[in-house]
Amino acid sequence: MAQHHLIVGGQRSGKSRQAERLALAWQAAASGHQVTVLATALALDSEMQARISRHQQDRPAGFACVESPLLLAEALQANAAPHRLLLVDCLTLWLTNWLMPMSGPPDLAGWKAELQALLDVLPKLASPVLFVSNEVGWGVSPMSSEARFYVDELGRLNQQVAQACQDLTLMVAGQAWTRPVEQRNKP
């Protein structure tokens, strides 16, 4: 089984940079190692377009990129290979695309099915995966029920993905705190 790693932290904590550092080290560890970024962001406004552009410019040369705003499990399967590390940046925006689409209501049934597909595919992947996600549950409780639902759902998503990973990193002010994930015995 490939080794998976979840990197969480607040906004501007250095999550993506840490993921890129780990991906570069993996790439340099053996001839033929490749890195593919699975990008989940949608450029729906000028501010997000600028963020995406900055990520693209800062991304190390030689990293391939696949846009995957909704069907992440499918993209992981399609791009997995023993010589390729997959970097998912990020779970937070992936969840946003499902629960807070710019047009139309949330697709809760689609979200639950896609989450289950992700959890089902992770143990079977030939590639190691680096996941980036925000930790948003440390602040003030949001005012709206929709925002509280989103924060709760992201917390549950992070917990479920962490259980499928071997390592967990918390980013604080650009510093990485990494430890192995305690794997629960499943009945």
Domain residue spans of the chain: 4-180
What is the topology classification, in CATH, of domain 4-180? Rossmann fold (3.40.50)
Each residue of 149-186: pLDDT tens digit?
Answer: 999 999 999 999 999 999 999 999 999 998 888 765 44
Cα–Cα distance for residue pair 130/138, rounded to 1 Å: 23
What tokens does 73 get? Answer: 């499990």
What tokens does 154 get? Answer: 């992201």
Residues in the chain with pLDDT < 70? 1-2, 183-187
Q: Rounded to two decimals, what is the model's pTM?
A: 0.91
55 is catalytic: yes
Cα–Cα distance for residue pair 160/147, rounded to 1 Å: 20
CB atoms near residue 154 (< 10 Å)? 22
Pairing of strands 167-172, 84-89: unpaired
CB atoms near residue 70 (< 10 Å)? 17
Question: Of 4, 5, 33, 55, which residue is the catalytic one?
Answer: 55
Q: Are 171 and 18 in contact (CB under 8 A)?
A: yes
